[in-house]
């Protein structure tokens, strides 16, 4: 394998809430241009890891760099899609306005978004199939439409690295397919995409790289090498009865179904 640049490097990262460790001595080297899933049981620290990399939480120890520099110096290279449930969807605003928020980072303080930002936002909405909803009040969106709106907002950030926290949570099958299509386009354009993911069934189908996390980093690498029954058992304990169907050795991608529907 040729030498690749690391988009994200995490070394010896430890984070605790009071005396309860949430992340223990995490090492992570994410090469540029991959589509990576972070999987692990509830409370494994998946969201915490992303938030720490984004400077939203303060680690007790460790070093994090984005393309070799601290996050603060590289903000503009990073886009973030938080969990859909983390915001108030009754906020008085419409879809286009939420997408334009993705441009605020480039604009900086005080400056107002202009026509160009508007056009970029519309372009992003077209990409996620939401152009007809641009002026829809956000409280009237379904779960899938909310997720597409968030995705469009990340697209207009025009970043190098995309962090997404459970983008497939509670979306319909159509949206799930649309999102994964977009993620693959991002990867094809040389971007790095890191996704907190819940559905083990789809890991091998959607992603080429995976990090298994349960407070400690169990494994991280290409799906074909590290997404093994052994590693999954280490991550989830004995609780995963369907492992043998899911893990790399026996995986049969054509029988896999999108797991969640509704919304």
Partner 1 sequence: MSVQLEVQLIAVVVAVACALPGVFLVLRGMAMMSDAISHTVLLGIVLAFFLVGDLDSPLLIVGAALMGVLTVTLVELLNQTQLVKQDAAIGLVFPALFSVAVILISRFARGVHLDVDAVLLGELAFAPFDRVQFWGLDVPIALAVMGGILVLNGLFIGLFYKELKLATFDPALAAALGFSPVLLHYGLMTLVSVTAVGAFDAVGSVLVVALMITPPATAYLLTNRLSHMLGLSAVIGAGSALAGYWLARLLDANIAGSMATMTGAIFLVTFLLAPERGIVAILRRRQRQRWEFAQAALTIHLLHHEDSPQADEECRVDHLGEHLRWQRPFADEVVRLARRHGLVTQDNGRLYLTDKGRQTVQDAIVR
Cβ nearer to partner 1, comparing 30 with 232: 30
We find the least distance from the C-beta atom of residue 205 to partner 1, in angstroms, to be: 27
We find the least distance from the C-beta atom of residue 222 to partner 1, in angstroms, to be: 28
We find the least distance from the C-beta atom of residue 27 to partner 1, in angstroms, to be: 23
Residue 170, interface with partner 1 (CB under 8 A)?
Answer: no
Among 104, 123, 170, 234, binds partner 1 (CB under 8 A): 104
Which residue(s) pair with 138 in the sheet?
Answer: none
Structure tokens at 18: 């009071």
Asked whether 150 and 133 are in contact (CB, 8 A), the reply is: no
Cβ nearer to partner 1, comparing 57 with 219: 57
Q: How far apart are CA 245 and CA 126, in angstroms?
A: 37
Residue 105, interface with partner 1 (CB under 8 A)?
Answer: yes
| Closest C-alpha to 79, from 1, 182, 155 | 155
Residue 173, interface with partner 1 (CB under 8 A)?
Answer: no
Cβ nearer to partner 1, comparing 81 with 183: 81
Residue 82, interface with partner 1 (CB under 8 A)?
Answer: yes
Interface ranges with partner 1 (CB under 8 A):
51, 54-56, 72, 75, 78, 80, 82, 86-88, 91-94, 97-98, 101, 104-105, 107, 109-110, 112-113, 137, 139, 153
């Amino acid at each position: 394998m040729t030498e690749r640049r690391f988009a994200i490097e995490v070394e010896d990262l430890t984070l605790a809430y009071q005396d309860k460790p949430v992340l223990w001595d995490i090492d992570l080297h994410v090469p540029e241009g991959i589509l990576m899933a972070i999987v692990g049981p509830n409370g494994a620290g998946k969201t915490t890891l992303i938030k720490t990399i984004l400077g939203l939480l303060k680690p007790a120890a460790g070093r994090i760099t984005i393309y070799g520099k601290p996050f603060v110096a590289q903000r503009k290279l990073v886009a973030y899609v938080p969990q859909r449930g983390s915001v108030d969807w009754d906020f008085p605003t419409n879809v286009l306005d939420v997408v334009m928020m993705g441009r605020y980072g480039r604009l900086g303080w005080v400056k107002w978004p202009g026509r160009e930002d508007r056009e970029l936002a519309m372009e992003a909405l077209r990409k996620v199939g939401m152009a007809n909803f641009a002026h829809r009040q956000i409280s009237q969106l379904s779960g899938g439409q909310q997720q597409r709106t968030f995705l469009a907002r990340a697209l207009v950030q025009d970043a190098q690295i995309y962090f997404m926290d459970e983008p497939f949570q509670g979306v319909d099958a159509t949206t799930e397919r649309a999102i994964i299509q977009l993620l693959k386009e991002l990867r094809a354009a040389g971007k790095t995409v890191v996704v907190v993911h819940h559905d083990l069934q789809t890991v091998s189908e959607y992603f080429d790289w995976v990090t298994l996390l349960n407070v400690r980093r169990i494994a991280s690498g290409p799906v074909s090498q590290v997404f093994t029954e052994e590693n999954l058992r280490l991550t989830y304990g004995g609780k995963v009865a369907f492992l043998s169907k899911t893990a790399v050795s026996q995986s049969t991608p054509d029988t896999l179904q999108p797991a969640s529907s509704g919304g």
